[in-house]
């Protein structure tokens, strides 16, 4: 009897993360040519800080490392609470902190806890595609706000007022500051205005603050400075240079904490034990000194990139305030950013990310450049791009 294919749900039919195709092609180019320069990476090029690694070794050699509390060990939640007090001046109780297997695990649990099938959640376009794809997989309707350079690619209260007048207040709004892919920061007064608007209209504000600590001349603010009904998302991935360790957290209002605890206990049991102890080491003064050195390097490399973009022939309408990305228009060169990025990799070994992941309308004419690598690597990549015929309109 012929076998029948396994069932596949309709909800799994979401867009892939196209940057993974870039990474696959870059790996093949590296295998055949050995010359790839990665301006596509959405992660630090540096390892975890030494105190974090040392803490992991101590935990691995002295503890059983079995299951922990589903929302994270108390010392880590205390460290996260203290981190937010130091970073944003907000008073956080450890019981308001819930730790997850990365911010991705936190987002999935949060979307399940806060939104029902058919609810509408708003996000900026351009924006991080996993918000959109995860929400759609869970049956939540996503409304993308067209956020152009005039608002530095960030949503505004006026946009939310216009949307609410047309279709009523949405169930949720996701903001990211600094943002991926643009690197822009929401000014403190605008974030406070959004937080107040959301609280007044029963809209859950989800503030993605995983790039806090990585800003260059423009201060970041936290949604919890204004509203404790918002949810703040944090992680050790970006500033702390620990992407693969998979530790993220939420600052959650009281109404969501128990649902989140129950869901994560079923979905994840607990965050990785060894990673939690490593993260404790990342919150030490010794680690902070190491991490500030990384931030200072990013700042130098950012200046190099922004200064040289006109020479390369690329334009960014809102230079990055934070993170380690520049969002650039290549519409004068191509109307197919995917094919253009493939051609650039083949021509000179420089890997950058096409904009289709981040912008469902204009992504065909946009690219994201990462300056997370060393300054020398970024300089060489720009030199190669200047020499490439693909950059001559």
Across 271-298, b (16+ Cβ under 10 Å) vs e yields bbbbbbbbbbbbbbeebbebbeebeebb
In DSSP notation, 151-168 reads GTT---HHHHHHHHHHH-
Q: Which two tokens stand for residue 90?
A: 């907000």
Tens digit of pLDDT for each residue in 116-136? 999 999 999 999 999 999 999
DSSP 31-61: HHHS--EES--SS-SSPPPHHHHHHHHHHHH
Q: What is the pLDDT of residue 258?
A: 98
Q: What are the pLDDT digits (tens) for 247-287?
A: 999 999 999 999 999 999 999 999 999 999 999 999 999 99
Q: What is the largest CA-CA distance in the chain?
A: 68
Cβ partners under 8 Å of residue 140, min gap 6: 111, 115, 116, 117, 118, 119, 120, 121, 171
- What is the distance between the alpha carbons of residues 112 and 16, in angstroms, rounded to a whole number? 21
CA-nearest of 200, 199, 255 to 230 is 199
Q: Round the average pLDDT of the chain to a whole number and report it.
A: 96
Report the distance separating Cα 330 and Cα 349, nearest Å: 18
List of residues 6+ apart from 245 with CB closer than 8 A = 48, 52, 236, 237, 272, 275, 278, 279
Q: Is the pLDDT of residue 19 over 90?
A: no
Model confidence at 193: pLDDT above 90: yes
Q: For residue range 35-52, what is the model confidence (pLDDT) as tens digits?
A: 999 999 889 999 999 999
Q: What is the mean pLDDT of residues 347-358?
A: 96
Q: Is the pLDDT of residue 198 over 70?
A: yes
Residue 318: the pLDDT is: 93
Give the closest residue to 86 by CA, choosing from 231, 320, 288. 288
End-to-end CA distance of the chain: 59
- How many residues can be counted in the chain? 393
- pLDDT score for 60: 97
With beta carbons less than 8 A apart as the criterion, state whether 309 and 319 touch: no
pLDDT at 82: 98
What separation in angstroms does the CA of 346 have from each of 27, 282, 308, 349, 352?
12, 39, 22, 6, 12
Spatial neighbors of 312 by CB under 8 A, at least 6 apart, are: 382, 385, 386, 391
Q: What is the mean pLDDT of residues 82-94?
A: 96
Q: Are 123 and 359 in contact (CB under 8 A)?
A: no
Strand ranges for the chain from DSSP E: 37-38, 97-100, 120-125, 141-146, 172-176, 204-208, 231-235, 248-251, 325-329, 350-351, 353-354, 366-370
Residues 194, 187: contact at Cβ < 8 Å? no
**Radius of gyration, alpha carbons of the chain:** 21
132-179 pLDDT, tens digit each: 999 999 999 999 999 999 999 999 999 999 999 999 999 999 999 999
DSSP β-ladder status, 120-125 and 141-146: parallel
Q: What is the pLDDT of residues 95-111, one digit of tens each?
A: 999 999 999 999 999 99
pLDDT above 70 covers a percentage of the chain that reads: 99
Q: Does the pLDDT at position 2 exceed 70?
A: no
Q: Is 253 exposed, middle or buried (0-12, 13-18, 19+ CB in 10 A)?
A: middle
pLDDT tens for 289-324 read 999 999 999 999 999 999 999 999 999 999 999 999
Report pLDDT for 17: 77
Position 289 scores a pLDDT of 97
- Split at pLDDT 50, 70, 90, the class of 361 is very high
Token digits of residue 350 = 């420089």
**In the structure, what pLDDT confidence band is assigned to residue 11 with cuts at 50, 70 and 90?**
confident
Question: Please, how many CA atoms are within 13 Å of residue 142, restricted to the half-sphere of its CB?
Answer: 22
The predicted pLDDT at position 304 comes to 97
Question: What is the model's pLDDT at position 106?
Answer: 98
User: What is the SS3 assignment for 299?
Assistant: helix
| pLDDT tens string 229-251 | 999 999 999 999 999 999 999 99
pLDDT at 271: 98
The fraction of the chain above a pLDDT of 90, given in percent, is 92
């Amino acid at each position: 009897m012929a076998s029948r294919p396994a069932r596949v749900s309709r909800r799994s039919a979401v867009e892939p993360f196209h940057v993974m195709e870039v990474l696959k092609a870059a790996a093949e180019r590296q295998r055949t040519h050995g010359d790839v320069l990665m301006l596509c990476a959405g992660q630090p090029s540096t390892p975890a800080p030494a105190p974090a690694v040392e803490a992991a070794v101590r935990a691995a050699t002295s503890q059983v490392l079995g299951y922990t509390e589903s929302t994270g060990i108390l010392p880590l939640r205390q460290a996260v609470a203290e981190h937010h007090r130091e970073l944003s001046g907000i008073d956080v109780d450890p019981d308001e902190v819930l730790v997850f297997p990365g911010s991705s695990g936190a987002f999935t649990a949060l979307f399940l806890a806060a939104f029902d099938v058919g609810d509408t959640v708003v996000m900026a376009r351009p924006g991080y595609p996993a918000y959109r794809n995860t929400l759609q997989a869970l049956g939540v309707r996503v409304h993308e706000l067209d956020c152009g350079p005039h608002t530095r690619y960030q949503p505004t209260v006026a946009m939310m007022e216009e949307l609410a007048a047309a279709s009523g207040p949405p169930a949720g709004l996701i903001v990211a500051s600094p943002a991926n892919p643009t690197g822009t920061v929401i000014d403190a007064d605008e974030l406070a205005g959004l937080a107040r608007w959301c609280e007044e209209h029963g809209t859950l504000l989800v503030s993605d603050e995983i790039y806090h600590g990585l800003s260059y001349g423009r201060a970041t603010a936290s949604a919890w400075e204004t509203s404790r009904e918002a949810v703040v998302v944090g992680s050790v991935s970006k500033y702390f240079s620990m992407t693969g360790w998979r530790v993220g957290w939420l600052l959650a209002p009281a109404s969501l904490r128990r649902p989140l605890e129950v869901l994560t206990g079923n979905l994840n049991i607990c965050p990785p034990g060894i990673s939690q102890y490593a993260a404790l080491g990342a919150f030490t003064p010794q680690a902070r000194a190491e991490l500030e050195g990384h931030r200072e390097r990013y700042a130098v490399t950012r200046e190099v990139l922004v200064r040289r973009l006109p020479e390369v022939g690329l334009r960014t309408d809102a230079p990055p305030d934070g993170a380690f990305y520049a969002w650039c228009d290549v519409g004068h060169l191509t109307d197919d950013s995917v094919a253009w990025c493939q051609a650039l990799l083949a021509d000179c070994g420089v890997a950058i990310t096409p904009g289709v992941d981040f912008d469902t309308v204009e992504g065909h004419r946009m690219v994201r450049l990462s300056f997370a690598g060393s300054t020398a690597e970024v300089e060489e990549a720009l030199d190669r791009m200047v020499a490439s015929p693909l950059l001559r309109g």
